[in-house]
């Protein structure tokens, strides 16, 4: 069995953080919540599109984000045209 990244029950990470159940190499860290790592209500965790577990609070883990999330509220698409919701 692999040791989770966070083992101290008093560490200030979310209850659903993958760091509580996985070693550091087994999940990605975004700098904030993003559409690239949505919450899955079926099991209560966040995942990337390829189902890699994701943490969205690097400051709580004391690490740098290793994947930078895009601007969630960008008003224009990459081609410069306005986005419509």
SS3 45: strand
**Cα of 41 vs its chain's centroid, Å:** 15
Higher pLDDT, 72 or 17: 17
Q: Which of 27, 83, 35 shows the shortest CA–CA distance to 54? A: 27
| pLDDT given at position 68 | 57
CA pseudo-torsion sign 78, 45, 50, 11: positive
Q: Dump pLDDT digits (tens) for 18-57.
A: 999 999 989 999 999 999 999 999 999 999 999 999 999 9
């Amino acid at each position: 069995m692999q040791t989770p990244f966070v083992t101290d029950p008093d560490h200030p990470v979310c209850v659903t953080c993958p760091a509580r159940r996985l070693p550091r190499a087994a999940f990605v860290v975004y700098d904030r919540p993003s559409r690239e790592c949505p919450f899955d209500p079926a099991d209560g965790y966040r995942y990337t599109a390829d189902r890699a577990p994701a943490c969205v609070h690097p400051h709580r883990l004391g690490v740098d984000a290793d994947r930078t999330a895009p601007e969630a509220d960008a008003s224009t698409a990459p081609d410069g045209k306005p986005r419509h919701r």
